[in-house]
Structure 1
């Protein structure tokens, strides 16, 4: 029975890693689309419509499913004992993942503003925000791999 659980755990971990990679790719790319959308596309133009389609599909087809799979696989791994409730690194990872989910939600709200033609943010705002997932990713990877605390 233990070998079966070990085998299942490794498959869940592999799925988790793949989902995180896909989610992170979207978290890195969507703000870059927003930069170009804000700086180059007039509301109602053909380019505006093209960016809207790209942003919506990135969120709906890649980012949202990847985030859900990453969360589900992560929660299953926690259920199988992968979370060390007494270790700081576990809490740093969990808090960072919650913040990453918040960043995802913020981007989703911005996409809706672009779709409604009500975006008021500049390309610079999106360039700065593009660093948020990177910083959170650094916290997560260092916490899990190096476990400095």
Structure 2
């Protein structure tokens, strides 16, 4: 069981690396006026999303579900667990919204400013803080 939990934690760390860095790339992409620089951001964004983000998302979910199977009755009876699951669902949506912005930026259709992306970049930080406190304290905030 511990190796399953370890892989879950590693996948979460990798997923959050993408969730933190990709919107920061959006900030710089939105600020750029140079087409060559924008093209480089398009490559970086695509590789980060598909090469790190998506595999990490799937590993996080697969190994997270696996961990819960060891004590399913405990988890399903815990309020903190369901709050955390709601936050994870929000992160999955956020992940896919990032994919939407990649397509918008790739096709030069994105109208969002770098200021928007600076605020957008804070969403996973807030959710991470809430999830860590929920998991460690095992009580709703």
TM value normalised by structure 1: 0.89
Q: Does 1:22 align with 2:14?
A: yes
Q: Which has the larger radius of gyration?
A: 1
2:83 pairs with one of 89, 92, 97: 92
**Aligned to 1:118, what secondary structure does the other structure show?**
coil
| TM alignment of 1:38-53, pairs within 5 A | 38-42=30-34, 45-53=35-43
Unmatched tracts of structure 2, length 5 or more: none
Tell me the distance in 2 between the aligned counterparts of 1:41 and 1:12: 45
Tell me the distance in 1 between the aligned counterparts of 2:55 and 2:43: 17
Tell me the distance in 1 between the aligned counterparts of 2:48 and 2:75: 34
Query: Aligned residue pairs: how many?
Result: 139
Which structure 1 residue ranges, 4+ long, deviate > 6 Å from structure 2? none
Deviates more, 1:75-84 or 1:88-97: 75-84
- The match for 1:122 is 113
TM value normalised by structure 2: 0.94
- Pairwise CA RMSD of aligned residues? 1.1
